[in-house]
Amino acid sequence: MTRPDVTVTVIVHNDAERLPRAVASVRRQTHADLEIVISDDHSTDDTPAVARALAAEDPRIRYVRLPGNSGGCSAPRNRGIELSRAPYLMFLDSDDELPERAVETLLAAHRARDLDFAMGAVRRIRVDNGRRSTWMPHLVAEHRTLDGIEADPRLFFEHLATSKMYARAFLDRHHLRFPEGIHYEDQLFSAQAYCLAKTFTIVPEPVYLWYIAPYAAPAAASLSNQRDRLTNVADRIHVQRLIDAFLAESGHESLREDKDHKFLKHDFRMYAGDLPYRDEAWLASFADLVVPYLDTLTPGAYARLPRAERVVVQLVRDRRFADARQAARGLGHDVAPRHVTTGPDGRTYWGDRVPEGAAARRELDLTDLELDTRPFFDARFRHEITDVGRGPGASVDLTVRTYDPALRLPVGPQRAALLLTPGRHRMTVPFRLSPLRPGVFEGRVRLDLAAARLPLWGFDGVRHPVLRLRHEGRAHTGPLLAPPAFPPFTARVPYRSGTTPHRLTVEPEGHSPGRLQLRWEPVGATAVLRPLVHRLR
């Protein structure tokens, strides 16, 4: 038997339903001289029978079953490496796919240069709505060859092991295998591969299709989506410490700031967006796990963060959990704090008091944001819904409180409006904000969702209302933050003549940034015909 060019290891555990799709995507590759190793982490469902049937259909497929469940991705991947006969290796999870030209594209990069690995773009596909996006697009936007990770340390953010084709000789030369017995093994393996590789090539073409289920049930959610589990936090911190030790031992300590920045901007940031939905006991345990590690990070990594994220990190380090929850709401949307304080030094600080300690004052200092002088369209306000009620028909009654910590708005009532655009037609609902005290306004508004103008072919999607303020002829638009928890409610909404009914759900966004969320779903014949009409258009 001739040696294949590439071995693709497909790892699987109790995924008999999706395994054929994953394997079929490898069998469809435009470069056909390959072998497929199905590495089963001791499944207990129909996976063994399905895998054996697939192997019987194609001589390029081999099936191996581990003697016991390892509980992770590393052991089945390592078994695939052991069994591989090709000089180049790739890995695929059973719930994902390879684009048809993935093997051809990456193999061509290897044949053009003597590489340790080649990598390409990862397309993320939402299983709930089919929407596609590129993972870390700025890192894979152009074809380039790098002589080591030092040429672009931002690549630490692209830590997926599955987006790459490795030279088997490179892995063997450095005894590089996936670390077993830990989670987030991709992060450690990829950090090691980046640091040990002398030359690698990036191609902009998609080489992996990553299916994302953001609303999966907790038991079925991927590891990265199980952030409510404190063991998840502990596992992530553990692998970071292993990466730090590797950087020190391998002579790559100069990359520590870049790697620390990646942890703060990516790993910690994911937990930060969930903080408003965690209780005090969870937050205390979270701080116990994460703060000792935060204390080891380089100062330069903190300095590279946006100020809003630095504030959340510091409030967690100071165990100011109620404040951390407040600061985390609206992250990424330029939302103001409820209050700011001017210290004796003339600096402006986050919150209702001057922070204690030099480190806290440095991290919570908002002076450079120029809250009191920046242009009105770019001013910082905070719009919170304090009460949500169901009105008549398909209407929603909202009590909205606006915080103006820099006192940009004049004294007295303010004209405001809610803006909503489901489709091409904007819905504008004016209302009045009355002053409660300096810098705080409140108003009530009824949002009649049956009055929204939808496309004739219906609307299937999610929208987040925004609040618009006007002052001296200038407008400011900002997000509308929902209470972290209120019972969602659903109504069947009949629309104007020619537009079929929709199911409309009003709910909190449920994750960062925590806005009010409205979700439309066509019902009846439109639910069947709309996808066809959309394709024809």
- Return all residues near 303 (Cβ < 8 A) that are at least 6 apart: none
DSSP at 334: T
Q: What is the pLDDT of residues 354-407, one digit of tens each?
A: 999 999 999 999 999 999 999 999 999 999 999 999 999 889 999 999 999 999
Residues 194 and 245 in one domain: no
Among the listed ranges 113-127, 140-154, 204-218, which one has the minimum average pLDDT value?
204-218
In a domain, 217, yes or no: no
Instruction: Look at residue 219 and tell me if it is in a domain.
Output: no
- Statement to judge: residues 481 and 361 lie in one domain: no
Domain holding 208, by residue range, is 6-212
Statement to judge: residues 361 and 383 lie in one domain: no
The answer to whether residue 358 sits within a structural domain is yes
pLDDT at 207 over 50: yes
pLDDT over 70 at 21, yes or no: yes
**pLDDT digit string (tens) for 74-93?**
999 999 999 999 999 999 99
Q: Which residues contact 159 (CB under 8 A, 6 or more apart)?
A: 186, 187, 190, 191
Question: Does residue 33 sit in the same domain as residue 53?
Answer: yes
SS3 at position 293:
helix
Q: Does 194 share its domain with 280?
A: no
Do residues 248 and 381 share a domain?
no
Residues 342 and 412 in one domain: no
The model's confidence at residue 453, banded by pLDDT at 50, 70 and 90, is: confident
Kindly state whether residue 1 falls inside one of the protein's structural domains: no
Is the pLDDT assigned to residue 456 strictly greater than 90? no
Chosen domain end from 319, 343, 369: 369
State which of 212, 236, 258 marks the end of a domain: 212
**Residue carrying structure tokens 């002052």:** 471
Find the radius of gyration of the CA atoms of the chain: 26
Q: Identify the pLDDT of residue 353.
A: 95
What pLDDT is attached to residue 497?
52
Confidence bin at 218 (pLDDT 50/70/90): very low
pLDDT bin (cut points 50, 70, 90) of residue 486 is confident
In a shared domain, residues 396 and 343? no
Specify the pLDDT at position 454.
Answer: 87
Q: How confident is the model at residue 493 (pLDDT cuts 50, 70, 90)?
A: confident
Mean pLDDT of 311-339: 96
pLDDT at res. 219: 47
Select from 396, 420, 504 the least CA-distant residue to 460.
504
210: its two tokens? 């990553």
Mean pLDDT of 86-104: 98
pTM to 2 decimals?
Answer: 0.90
Phi-psi region of 514 (alpha: psi -120 to 50; beta: other; left: phi over 0): left
User: For position 528, what pLDDT does the model report?
Assistant: 47
Average pLDDT of the chain?
Answer: 93
- In this model, does residue 227 exceed pLDDT 60? yes
489 within domain boundaries = yes
Going by pLDDT thresholds of 50, 70 and 90, the confidence category of residue 223 is low
Q: Is 191 left (phi over 0), alpha (psi -120 to 50) or beta?
A: alpha
Count how many Cα atoms sit within 13 Å of the Cα of residue 510 in the half-sphere of its side chain.
Answer: 11
Residues 73 and 98 in one domain: yes
Do residue 274 and residue 190 come from a single domain?
no
For residue 395, give the CATH number of its domain.
Answer: 2.60.40
Quick: pLDDT tens for 37-69.
Answer: 999 999 999 999 999 999 999 999 999 999 999
Tally of domains within the chain: 3
Note the pLDDT of residue 216: 52
Tell whether the model's pLDDT for residue 226 goes beyond 90: no
Q: What is the pLDDT of residues 244-297, one digit of tens each?
A: 999 999 999 999 999 999 999 999 999 999 999 999 999 999 999 999 999 999
Mean pLDDT along residues 419-427? 91
Distance between CA 213 and CA 244 in Å, rounded? 31
Of 324, 340, 369, which closes a domain? 369
> What pLDDT score does 512 carry?
74
Cα–Cα distance measured from residue 220 to residue 253, given in angstroms and rounded to the nearest whole number:
38
CA dihedral 102, 108, 113, 114 (to 10 degrees): 70
CATH number at residue 161: 3.90.550.10
Classify residue 221: in a domain, yes or no: no
Strands 61-65, 88-93: pairing kind: unpaired
Instruction: Tell whether 193 and 289 lie within a shared domain.
Output: no
What pLDDT, on the 0 to 100 scale, is given for residue 377? 95
Does residue 480 sit within a domain?
yes
Mean pLDDT value of segment 149-164: 97
Is there a domain that residue 434 lies in? Answer: yes
Tokens of 427: 């819905």
Shared domain check, 415 and 289: no
Residue bearing the bigger pLDDT, 384 or 494: 384
Distance CA 18, CA 16 (A): 6
Pinpoint the alpha helices (H) of 28-90: 47-57, 74-83
179 close to 188: Cβ distance less than 8 angstroms? yes
Q: What percent of the chain has pLDDT over 90?
A: 84
Cβ-based neighbours of 229, under 8 Å, separated by 6 or more: none
Q: Which position has the token pair 């810098």?
A: 439
β-strands 164-167, 348-350 pairing: unpaired
